[in-house]
Amino acid sequence: MTLCGGFGAFAAPSAQAGGRKGVAVCLLNDSTARVKVDWISSDTRTRDGWIPAGDRACAEGTFAWRADLAMRVTWADGLSARLDFNNPLIGYPTVTMDPGAHSAAAACSSFDSNDDGLGFTADCSEAYSVGTSNEYSTRYGTIRVTRKQDDGWKQFVARVIE
């Protein structure tokens, strides 16, 4: 069962090379404002662009160079945050937030981070077991990421909250 029921099924687990599961993510806009999602790397996706309050967009990815799946979430004021989802060959799946050049100045103090010397962290990375949730806060909003039970994919839900 995928978390994006009603948005079309993703490829069957047997389509993934070497039995290694890829990553599936649904971005839910639980805020009162619209947000934009750009899938930087993914194999399939339901949509790109602006997501109205109460709506969603989903994607899945495997074996990309930097991450299995990467997305940039942009708020109406133009500030954004990039989230990379990766299922390494060894260890737990990880989610890494990279505030980037047009960042919303994310707060990453509770995560493993690398100080870039410019007053914010270069990235915030955390390993996720099933049921783990973490929040990535910005000046404009917060994204709460939760790892769900696996099926043919390592399943995540990312919720934009206020």
pLDDT, one tens digit per residue, over 16-53 is: 545 678 999 999 999 998 999 999 989 999 999 999 99
**What percentage of the chain has pLDDT greater than the value 70?**
70
pLDDT (mean) for 56-77? 88
pLDDT (0 to 100) of residue 87 = 92
Measured CA to CA, the distance from residue 49 to residue 56 in angstroms comes to: 11
Measured CA to CA, the distance from residue 34 to residue 128 in angstroms comes to: 27
pLDDT (0 to 100) of residue 23 = 95
* Minimum mean pLDDT range among 51-65, 93-107, 146-160: 93-107
Residue 11, pLDDT > 60, answer: no
pLDDT band at 64 (very low <50, low <70, confident <90, very high): low
Which CATH number is 21-161 given? 2.60.270.20
> Which amino acid belongs to residue 21?
K
pLDDT, one tens digit per residue, over 78-107 is: 888 889 999 988 889 999 887 554 444 444
Q: Could you state, in order of their start, the residue ranges of all structural domains in the chain?
A: 21-161
Which is nearest to 101 in space by CA: 84, 117, 79?
79
Q: What is the mean pLDDT of the chain?
A: 77
